Amino acid sequence: MDAIDRAAKSDHMKIPFKAKILELNKARVAFKRYGLAPGITASRRLVAYVSDFLRHGQGFFWIRIRQTVAR
């Protein structure tokens, strides 16, 4: 994600909710490597992060896909 953000020419091209996605990835890795499942409160928070990312990121990624296909 850092490489994508560095390549972005402006703030609106950077990945939305980067800190939340990184936290989600840490929880994913902890479960994958060590079998550590997040508690119920953390699980709800992580689900909300994913929901926010998908809701707001949909336009972000769709625009990039259309720009790539149009070239």
Give me the DSSP letters along 1-70: -HHHHHH-SSGGGSPTTHHHHHHHHHHHHHHHHH--PPPHHHHHHHHHHHHHHHHHHHHHHHHHHHHHHH
Residue 65: pLDDT above 80?
no
Q: What pLDDT sits at residue 51?
A: 86
pLDDT score, position 68: 63
Domain ranges of the chain: 17-70
pTM over 0.75: no
- What are the pLDDT digits (tens) for 2-55? 666 665 666 666 666 788 888 999 999 999 999 999 999 999 999 999 888 888
